[in-house]
Structure 1
Amino acid sequence: MTSEHLRIPDELANLCVVDVVVRLPKLMPIDTRVRDARAALRDDHVHMLLLTDHGRLRGTLTSGDMPDHADDMALSLTYAVIEGRTVSSDLSAEQARLLMISRDLRRMAVVDADGSLLGLLCLNRRHSGFCSDEDVHARATAP
């Protein structure tokens, strides 16, 4: 971790994860097939899929989670990961930023104590802060 990464950005000093979470991330149902998950992940703006069932997070998927040989019709949930990819909403935003940097992650699902999905934490490219719902919407609608 560089010294630049260790400096607490002023805008994060008094915030919790719940204050910086993207509340409208890309969600997919738990019966999503591998082919559909692969198609969704081809979008340059989608880095992680969140597989949910009745508001609860059941798994996360990145393009690297599904092996090349995975059957297109298989359930993508088979390859989903939760461990190490979730963070509590009451963690400080700065602690979450440092955790993500240490794990070399730019996305983490935000859940409450019972596993209900609250959103997605998206570390920006500079690792200095987090993307907002407005940032995500602007990128999605950009020409």
Structure 2
Amino acid sequence: MAEVRRFFADDHVHLALIVDSTLRLVTTLERPDIPADAHDDEKACGFGVTSGRTIAPECSLSAATAALQSAGRRRLAVVDDGGKLLGLLCFKRSGLGYCDDAGVAARAAEVAAPTG
């Protein structure tokens, strides 16, 4: 739990993906999943959820969008039939499409740039 709490200290982080040594998705965590009284030495996977937070790679983008919108979510872990994590599908906050590597890099550069 201590590591997950450090991970969530960044307010741009909304979903933690917990995988095993073979990259199989064990669970996903959002801040509300974590009880306030959870101890730092507890295993985070006990608080996570996968139901409604995963999608198969062959799922169409329109079906993924519908699933996200109906659940009021913006992120789905992409996993294969064996549960191996393949990626993360992130719907933009604006609702105008999906995040991409270039957009994520640009936002990271803005955050890293000195203010002044």
TM-score of the two chains, using structure 2 as the length reference: 0.89
Where in structure 2 are there 5+ consecutive unaligned residues?
none
Aligned match for 1:47, one of 14, 17, 22: 14
Residue of structure 1 equivalent to 2:91:
123
1:138 shift after superposition: 2.0
CA distance in 2, matches of 1:117, 1:141: 26
Identity %, equivalent residues = 40
Higher relative contact order at CA 8 Å, sep ≥6: structure 1 or structure 2? 1
The DSSP-based 3-state class of the residue aligned with 1:140 is helix
1:46 shift after superposition: 1.1
Q: How many residues align?
A: 110
Where in structure 1 are there 5+ consecutive unaligned residues?
1-33
Q: Which residues of 2 match residues 35-74 of structure 1 at below 5 A?
A: 35-53=2-20, 54-74=22-42
Q: RMSD of the TM alignment (CA)?
A: 1.1
Residue of structure 2 equivalent to 1:19:
none
Residue 96 (1) aligns with residue 64 (2): yes
Q: Is the 8 A contact 1:101 1:127 kept in 2?
A: no
CA deviations 1:44-96 (Å, max 9, x no partner) are 22110110111111110111111000011101111111111001111111110
Give runs of ≥4 in structure 1 deviating > 4 Å. Answer: none
Q: Which amino acid aligns with 2:50?
A: I
CA distance in 2, matches of 1:141, 1:73: 33
